[in-house]
Structure 1
Amino acid sequence: MPHRSKRLALIRAGIDTYRQPVVYMRADCDLCRSEGFSSLARVEITLGARSIVATLNVVTEGAWLPPGAAALSEAAWEALSPEPGAMASFSHPEPPVSADAIRAKVYGRRLDQAAFRDIVRDIVGRRLSELELAAFVAACAGDRLDAEETVALTRAMVETGRRLEWGEGMVLDKHCVGGLPGNRTTPIVVAIVAASGRRIPKTSSRAITSPAGTADTMETMAPVALAAAAMRKVVEAEGGCVVWGGGLDLAPADDLLIRVERPLDFDSEGQMVASILSKKAAAGSTHVLIDMPVGPTAKVRSSAAAHMLEARLLTTAEALGLNARVRLSDGSGPVGRGIGPALEAHDVLAVLRRAPHAPQDLRERALDIAGALLDMAAEAEGGPAAQGRETAQALLDSGAAEAKFMAICAAQGGFSEPGRAAHRRVERAPHAGAVAQIDNRRIARIAKLAGAPGRKNAGVLLHASLGQRVDKGDPLYEIHAETPGELEWAAEYAGARAHPFRIEAEA
């Protein structure tokens, strides 16, 4: 009987599986049969000194996949970086080191630092299957991580990625817990703080389930996918930046956990804290302000939940050596007028340019956050506090913040004006009254169905705000889309489901 090789040629499948490495093999592949590989099996792929563990998908109609070859998803291809015609070896992987620790957590046992370190290393090494990742996320959901475990998980997440170093002195940073569409304060805050002469190298995320992340919005105005060396040059020149953190390998386990957490919609205080603070510690921050909106459709929905989360954040930050402060804010409705990358960018620029039509709620919230950060800096420097907001407002009103923002954009690769969508539809008030509620989740859903964040110009433009009185037929919001089909899709959802605006009719 002829010897069957355990090596196959690698080709690029051109399939985006996000961060999950996937390998595609033919159903009639000799290697699959000899090794007993089946669909969703974990397969170790070795190419020279590089090795990954990927999930197997079996191709039953293999016309596109030639015999003797295996196709790699984008994540797997990038991890192995094969040369054309490269031959890789395939085998069954060893069981992950952390399997026993995950099982113990499922059964309610406390884990120590070593156990969390093993789990996070296996996550980053892609040695855990989707089922094993989901089991770990579920085992930590709710209040199943205590304070010590939260610190241990956070430390393990920092240890398994790159950590930026900025030398002596303060490094300021901010984070918003989230849940408010349009709450794009970061570019404004970075511009104000950098204009004050402080350092604020801001790494931001792209959207996962929201209509826009800060990186998506910033990318409509300047490049954000900077390598660490390029980011450092921007900060050295201008004192601040707004770049995408996904390409910097900061606490990479966080992104992999989020991929599982979001579809499950699990609310884990400990994992949220680890997610926030691991990224801040890895980014080299020393002083962090955390904005926590509280509202019925925000991520944090009650005062009691906010204070519990605040305590866990501050305890964990102290253990990591971070100087952190939490600011509770109004989370009752969206911020600004635009929801979606380009629409939010227009709001940011209107505030920085001091335009008469600039959304005042976005301006005031950005000033509050920038002022609080400047107060933290003044206290650390031994100077007078409680003047931060006045300083922030002066820097904004004088045009210094706008000039600094434009300089940062130029340093990151050049400024460009955000675009506008070609297709729009206005949704109007069904009756007269006062706007009593704008559902954050529903209005965000409409923006996403219109194409945001993938379509940069898509989203929702608000025409009415909380507390505003409207007459029947007045515009409430406007759907923006880049294609007619996406406009219809979003409008159909808006009309068929509960309206995102609740208008209390006049007596």
Structure 2
Amino acid sequence: MTDTLALIPAGIDTYSQPIVYMNEDCHICRSEGFAAQARVRIDLEGRWIIATLNVVGRGSWLGVDQAALSASAWQALGAREGDKAMFSHPEPAASASVIRAKAYGGRLDQAGFAAVVRDTLDNRLSDLDLAAFITACAGDRLDEAETVALTRAMKDAGQTLDWGERTVLDKHCVGGLPGNRTTPIVVAIVAAAGHLIPKTSSRAITSPAGTADTMEVMAPVALDATALRRVVEAEGGCIVWGGGLALSPADDHFIRVERPLDFDSTGQLVASVLSKKAAAGATHVLIDMPVGPTAKVRSMAAAEALGARLSSVGKAMGLNLALHVSDGVAPVGRGIGPALEALDVLAVLRRAPGAPVDLRERALDLAGHLLDLAPGTVAGQGRGRAQAVLDSGAAEAKFLAICAAQGGFREPGTAAQRIEIDAPHAGVLMAVDNRRIARIAKLAGAPRQKSAGIRLLTQIGDRVEKGQPLYELHAETPGELAYALSYAESQTDVITLSESVP
């Protein structure tokens, strides 16, 4: 009998949560008193992680002398099959008392938030601990000072990018609007205009596509800091996945727990956004806030509250921050899903006759506003300059150069399976439910299946006839298409039409 177990990969994706699987008859499991959901420290050749235990029944696939690790645990530990590791109870998380204090209404300083962030990154906190922390901070339970402290703690825990004394422009959309893929267009315009814009973006969390998902259809996005700097120094901009750069890395852990809780927290949203902007080295940041009844920000009152907190925290973080309130009533562009959104982006950059006008105009508005933020510019001239850069083809050329520098451009693919959803009666298209149309696109396979999603065939204000196609479902397999179609047919108010017209 030894005090070690042989490690094997479980082949199970648990996202960023390290999980260890042990047989209930394992001698270490018994002697240490490990039970399901226990926190277990695993030591291997000077490296260690803390994982959550899942217990496997006797006579199953896992031997009593083995321990299986989830994909994230395997990678974090740097394990190789056959390695033997030691298992023990970890020291209690230092931040447990901090979380308890916040749960009982206490105010936290930066040291308290830093302790929570540090223990989160070391996986010393269970999902229950994190859920308690997120709940204690939800709603309006983080004041302005606490939001600043949390933002700084999240930024300081990860890597930061330093661009010297140069002006660094950046933009962010708070989300909730399907198809609103302005970032690649804005980056191309701003970089072509001679400014620095190293854009780090996220993959989809609850949406059918994030900017990184859409960009990945056209070029590699998983760049490290060295490669990112090389691209930006050569082309003035980039569009890469921020998850590979460890910028505010605790945010991914918080989001993983926030998502099923479905809590709205102004403080946590602000800390999430601005910690990453500050870590990326931005000096001037534009925040786009789409407002609409089915967007993330549902009213002007909510937009004003969020904007006020963003502005105050941005100032405390040393950022020159501007706000842009936009229409969030309906999806933007025609495509919803990575490849379909990429096609829209390319159509705008290529000045194609059928390019979605709403996406083009939004991108020009944002690019113009961002150009106006740059020092030495004349206020109000940015929009005209942005349009000139786009119309001349300079933005298209810059986008292709950025793609080449990131590893090479490729044209988006198309889905093999398609079906149209028709209007049940004649009328005028009055509204689109952003959340439900996004859910249909996800059920079709987006964003994991890059060509899956929805192609909108009508817009608000259009008059349609009975039986006229409203939108087209795209999927890569018949099963995914049928799954999405079943939900779409059960939702009669995804797209609202007026009463029949003559």
Find the partner of 2:309 among 312, 321, 326: 312
**Aligned equivalent of 1:236:** 233
What's the C-alpha RMSD, in Å, of the aligned pairs? 1.0
Partner of 1:440: 434
Match of 1:168 among 165, 170, 190: 165
Deviates further, 302-311 or 67-76:
67-76
Q: 2:330 aligns with which of 333, 340, 348?
A: 333
Q: Are 1:107 and 2:104 an aligned pair? A: yes
Q: What is the one-letter code of the residue matched to 1:30?
A: H
Q: Does 1:484 align with 2:478?
A: yes
- Partner Cα distance (2:405, 2:277) in 1: 23
Helix, strand or coil at the partner of 2:154: helix
For 1:117 and 1:63, how far apart are their aligned partners in 2? 42
Identity among equivalent positions (%) equals: 69
> How far, CA to CA, are the matches of 1:288 and 1:400 in structure 2?
23
Give the superposition deviation at 1:7: 1.6
CA distance in 2, matches of 1:470, 1:498: 16
Deviation of 1:496 (Å): 1.2
Q: Which residue of 1 aligns with 2:450?
A: 456
Contact 1:6 1:91 in 2 (8 A): no
State the partner residue of 1:503: 497
Report deviation, 1:61.
Answer: 4.6
Residues 1:207 and 2:204 aligned together: yes
Q: Does 1:470 align with 2:467?
A: no
* Structure 1 position 385 matched with structure 2 position 379: yes
Structure 2 counterpart of 1:73, from 49, 70, 73: 70
CA distance in 2, matches of 1:89, 1:325: 52
Match of 2:396 in 1: 402
Aligned residue number for residue 250 of structure 1? 247
* Aligned partners of 1:157 and 1:253 also within 8 Å: yes
After superposition, the C-alpha distances for 1:199-258 in whole angstroms (9 at most, x for unaligned) are: 101001111111000010001100111111111111011000000111111101111000
Does residue 423 of the first structure (1) align with residue 423 of the second (2)? Answer: no
Structure 1 CA distance for aligned equivalents of residues 221 and 59 of structure 2 = 39
1:133 to 93, 105, 130: 130
Q: Which amino acid aligns with 1:103?
A: R
Which of 254, 257, 260 is equivalent to 1:260? 257
Deviation at 1:78, TM superposition (A): 1.0
Is 2:358 the counterpart of 1:361?
yes
User: How big is the shift at 1:47?
Assistant: 1.5
- 1:10 correspondence with 2:4: no
Hey, which bits of structure 1, 4+ residues long, moved more than 6 A?
A: none
Matched AA of 1:468: D
The secondary structure found in structure 2 opposite 1:358 is coil
Aligned to 1:127, the other structure's residue is in SS state: coil
Residue type of the alignment partner of 2:147: T
Separation in 2 of the partners of 1:434 and 1:184? 26
**Structure 2 portions without partners, runs of 5+:** none
Secondary structure of 1:220 counterpart: helix
Instruction: State the AA in 2 paired with 1:244.
Output: W
Separation of aligned partners in 1, 2:5 and 2:163: 45
The amino acid across from 2:339 in the alignment is A
Compute the displacement of 1:498 (Å).
3.3
Q: Deviations over 1:393-437 (max 9, x none)?
A: 000000000000000000011000000011111011111111110
Q: What CA distance in whole angstroms lies between the structure 2 residues aligned with 1:287 and 1:15? A: 41
The residue aligned with 2:223 is 226
CA contact (8 A) 2:336 2:455 kept: yes
Deviation at 1:490, TM superposition (A): 0.5
Q: Quick one: which amino acid aligns to residue 502 of structure 1?
A: T
Q: Match of 1:436, as an amino acid?
A: M
In 1: Cα distance, 2:297 partner to 2:203 partner: 20
Post-superposition shift, 1:48? 2.6
- Alpha-carbon offset, residue 88 of structure 1: 1.3
2:94 pairs with 1:97 = yes
Shift of 1:116: 0.7
Aligned counterparts of 1:281 and 1:436: Cα–Cα separation in 2: 40
SS in 1 for 2:218: coil
Amino acid at match of 1:25: M
Check whether the contact 2:27–2:64 (CA below 8 A) recurs between aligned residues.
no
Q: CA deviation at 1:328?
A: 0.5
Instruction: Report the counterpart of residue 287 of structure 1 in structure 2.
Output: 284
Q: Which moved more, 1:492-501 or 1:218-227?
A: 492-501
57-66 or 25-34: bigger deviation: 57-66
1:61 & 1:450 partners in 2: Cα distance? 39
**Would you say 1:159 and 2:156 are equivalent positions?**
yes
The residue type paired with residue 63 of structure 2 is P
Q: Distance in 2 between matches of 1:172 and 1:64?
A: 53
Tell me if 1:493 matches 2:487: yes
Instruction: State the TM-score, normalizing by the size of structure 2.
Output: 0.98
Distance 1:166 1:13 in 2: 41
Matched-pair contact (CA < 8 Å) for 2:50–2:124 = yes
Q: Which amino acid aligns with 1:332?
A: V
Deviates more, 1:62-71 or 1:157-166: 62-71
CA distance in 2, matches of 1:222, 1:324: 29
Could you tell me which residue of structure 1 aligns to residue 407 of structure 2?
A: 413
Separation in structure 2 between the aligned mates of residue 93 and residue 187 of structure 1, nearest angstrom: 45
Deviation of the 1:492 alpha carbon? 0.5
Residue of structure 1 in register with 2:373 after alignment: 376
Between the aligned partners of 2:458 and 2:81, the Cα distance in structure 1 is 56
Q: Distance in 1 between matches of 2:61 and 2:241?
A: 35
SS at match of 2:498: strand
| 1:337-390 CA distance string (max 9 Å, x none) | 00000000000000000000000000000000000010001xx23x32210000
| Rounded Cα–Cα distance in structure 1 between residues aligned with 2:356 and 2:474 | 18
Deviation at 1:62, TM superposition (A): 4.8
Deviations 1:92-114 (A, max 9, x none): 11110000110111111111111
8 A Cα contact 2:42 2:49, kept in partner: yes
Match for 1:187: what amino acid?
P
Report the count of equivalent residues. Answer: 501
TM-score normalised by the chain length of structure 1? 0.97
What's the CA shift for 1:68? 1.4
Give the deviation of 1:84 after TM superposition: 4.1
8 Å Cα contact 2:425-2:500 kept in structure 1: no
Name the CA distance, whole Å, in 1 between partners of 2:172 and 2:119: 27
Distance in 1 (alpha carbons) for counterparts of 2:493 and 2:47: 52
1:28 matched to 2:25? yes
The code of the aligned residue for 2:21 comes to: Y
Q: 1:481 to 1:84 in 2, by over 3 A?
A: closer
Show structure 1 runs of 5+ residues with no match: none
Match of 2:343 among 342, 346, 358: 346
